[in-house]
A = this chain, B = another copy of it.
Amino acid sequence: MTAPTDLDVLMTRLGRAARAAATAMAAAPTAAKDKALRALARLLREQTEALQADNAQDIERAQANGLAAPMVDRLRLTPKVLETVAEGCEQIAAMPDPIGEITDVKRRPTGISVGRMRVPLGVFGMIYESRPNVTIEAASLAIKSGNACILRGGSEAIASNIALWKLVQRALTEAGLPAEAVQLIETTDRAAVGKLIAMPEYVDVIIPRGGKGLIERIASEARVPVIKHLDGNCHTYVDAEVDLEQALVVTDNAKTQKYSPCNATESLLVHAAQARAFLPRIGAVFAAKGVEMRCCPASKAILSDVPGAQVVDATEEDWSTEYLAPVISVKVVQTLDEAIAHINRYGSHHTDAILTTNHPNAMRFLREVDSSSVMVNASTRFADGFEYGLGAEIGISTDKFHARGPVGLEGLTSLKWVVLGQGEIRG
């Protein structure tokens, strides 16, 4: 056996402390958890100036390193960003406590009553890049859900993350909860991530947030479950029977309301019966907004006639591409079956919508499209924890196991069985 490195020792200490804190957090009263969240909101407001000073260190280093301006902006803890995360903490404090809820209690013929109780998962590891406000989002979800967490933010935000985390620990202590319920990996040693994802004795689940490369690497190397979000290659399908005016508004919103979110539509499928009516009109909208259209032959034939439209041939690769940009792939399909098969083959199982007035088609789409969110007559942009009423979102899972789609407090919990007897024995 090789001697443990300093990093091994550090990570084991973090892990042990997290496991101990998780036990205390699982049993923590709702009032204490909510008190910690409200204290955190207050501290974020009280310490806005001090936080900005710490944040300035990260900003300066990023600028000195020549980081691109949009990346530098993502680092900024403006008073507005801090107020938003403070309000987020208060909103989570106001939500019902998911922990301890007992449901589905049923009497069995043997006399025992069997039900399920919602409990925390234990310890989660959160790995994220740039935006330091994620430190507070992850911490506040951990506190409310009765979990402990170990946070690993990006090295570019290290000063901001440490400053925010210290406030979290003050808030926990104020509420009589263990400060170790939220720990941050203060070293920027890259090897720490490799350790964090391979400590099943201390960490129950890993939640990575960041680029696809990071998430794929973590998923392939982790020795614990990962709640992961890969691509959002979302589709909007315009069916043969459709309210065309509504379809125009919804398709436009799904693609152009914002280009960068994972729930923006990247591919438009149109039933052949509507292609001539719908495509020229949506094509004109896209042309006006500078959205490039990568087309199948049938859609190209129609869209090429739209004045100002940027129309090119789609390659096979386009059908699986998440552009996150003013680009959309467009395909004419002959049947609903073809649309569903195309989405299940090329999509990323994130969010897909059908626009239709036909009820059986709507129901088939809901059932047969294998995605974490399936929608009828709504913009794919709605796929979001806040829009779904989860109150907060720690990520969007494109997996099927455990949590699927937007993950809020419930995704950080598990159900255990409870059996209430009066001395029953098994015969």
Say whether, besides A23-B344, A108-B388, A416 and B373 are in contact (CB < 8 Å).
yes
CB contacts under 8 Å to B, within A381-416, are 381-383, 387-389, 400-402, 404-406, 414-416
User: Looking at chain A, what size class is its interface with the partner chain?
Assistant: 35 or more
A378 within 8 A of B: yes
Q: Mark A346-377, 1 if CB is under 8 A from B, else 0.
A: 00000001000000000010111011111111
A243 within 8 A of B: yes
A91 within 8 A of B: no
The 5 closest A-B pairs by CB, nearest first: A378-B421, A253-B425, A246-B423, A381-B426, A375-B419
Q: Which residues of B contact A389 (CB under 8 A)?
A: 106, 108, 114
Q: Which residues of B contact A100 (CB under 8 A)?
A: 367
A368–B27 touching, CB < 8 Å: yes
A204–B378 touching, CB < 8 Å: no
Considering the complex, give the chain B residue whose CB is closest to the CB of A388: B114
Residues of A at the B interface (CB closer than 8 Å) are 23, 26-27, 100, 106, 108, 110, 112, 114, 117, 119, 121-122, 204-205, 220, 223, 225, 243, 246, 249-250, 252-254, 257, 344, 353, 364, 366-368, 370-379, 381-383, 387-389, 400-402, 404-406, 414-426
Roughly how many angstroms separate A366 CA and B415 CA in the complex, as a whole number? 12
Considering the complex, give the chain B residue whose CB is closest to the CB of A386: B108
Instruction: Tell me the smallest distance from the CB of A194 to a CB of chain B, in Å.
Output: 16
A426–B377 touching, CB < 8 Å: no
B414–A401 touching, CB < 8 Å: yes
A370–B114 touching, CB < 8 Å: no
A-B contact pairs, 17 of them (CB 8 A): A26-B370, A110-B387, A112-B382, A119-B400, A121-B400, A204-B400, A250-B421, A257-B425, A353-B419, A366-B418, A373-B416, A375-B419, A376-B419, A376-B420, A387-B426, A404-B416, A405-B416
Q: Which residues of B contact A117 (CB under 8 A)?
A: 366-367, 374
Q: Which residues of B contact A220 (CB under 8 A)?
A: 223
Q: Which residues of B contact A422 (CB under 8 A)?
A: 246, 377
B387–A108 touching, CB < 8 Å: yes
Roughly how many angstroms separate A426 CA and B249 CA in the complex, as a whole number? 10
Roughly how many angstroms separate A382 CA and B154 CA in the complex, as a whole number? 48
Roughly how many angstroms separate A378 CA and B122 CA in the complex, as a whole number? 26
Beyond A373-B417, A374-B416, A383-B417: 11 further Cβ-contacts under 8 Å? Answer: A26-B368, A27-B364, A117-B367, A119-B367, A122-B370, A373-B418, A375-B419, A376-B419, A378-B425, A401-B402, A406-B417
B253–A421 touching, CB < 8 Å: no
Q: Which residues of B contact A406 (CB under 8 A)?
A: 417
Considering the complex, give the chain B residue whose CB is closest to the CB of A349: B416
Considering the complex, give the chain B residue whose CB is closest to the CB of A406: B417
Say whether, besides A249-B423, A372-B417, A406-B417, A110 and B377 are in contact (CB < 8 Å).
no
Q: Which of B225, B250, B425 contacts A425 (CB 8 A)?
A: B250
Q: Which residues of B contact A26 (CB under 8 A)?
A: 367-368, 370
Q: Which residues of B contact A243 (CB under 8 A)?
A: 423
Q: Which residues of B contact A225 (CB under 8 A)?
A: 225, 401-402
